[in-house]
Amino acid sequence: WLLSFGARRDDGSPTADLGQTPWPGTRRAWQWFAKGQFEGFSAQWMGVSHTVDTTYDATDSDRLNDTSQFVSLGHDAEPAPGWRTSLRWQAGEHRYDYRYLRTGEGGYLDDTRTRGAWWALDAQATWSGHEDHDLVMGLRLRRDPRLRYRYDVFDGSQVLSSMSREQASVSVEDRWRLRESLALTLGVRLDQRSVAG
């Protein structure tokens, strides 16, 4: 088992435009990671959250927040002599927000938000019954149920976009051991995507 956490704060954001002079404001970031394994089962969770608050004369408020996280559950087994199987379920999400506000006369507001979420299932079976060959068969399913973009413009208009997509894949490959330090892999993979065929 492993647990890890990190925190960071910067007073100012260095920029290429300003050289060594930091852009005024505060940056904060948090990172986390956890994983565990018990017999053939495994679990993993990781993520990062990043926030930037900028203070300068052009705006009263300027904030960016960016967060991503990911979880994975897996199982590896040897169900029969010469056979190995691997099963992985994974899911993740991403959130991005940027708010740019100026009040008073000629005030304006820009507000951008994106949201994304996905999950995937990977299954793989490997047969090593032949001395010089590993035959690997794979199946992958993935779905992105939420892909959203929203932009509130300072003139009162709004831009919205939302979609979802799915993908399925099957593959077969032969790992051929030519010598101890050299291998050749031949394979074929078929993908079916909801947005591209």
Name the one residue in this structure whose structure tokens are 């004369």: 57
Which sign, positive or negative, has the C-alpha torsion 55, 58, 59, 62? negative
At residue 40, the pLDDT reads: 94
Q: How far apart are CA 96 and CA 113, in angstroms?
A: 6
Q: What is the pTM of this model?
A: 0.75
Q: How far apart are CA 67 and CA 55, in angstroms?
A: 21
DSSP 60: S
Rg (CA), the chain: 24
According to DSSP, the residues that pair with 164 across neighbouring strands are none
* Residue 157: CA count within 13 A, CB half-sphere: 2
Of the listed ranges 62-66, 78-82, 91-95, the one predicted with least confidence: 62-66
Reported as a single tens digit per residue, the pLDDT across 106-160 is 566 778 899 999 999 999 999 998 888 999 999 999 999 989 999 887 777 888 8
Q: How far apart are CA 142 and CA 145, in angstroms?
A: 10
At residue 125, the pLDDT reads: 97
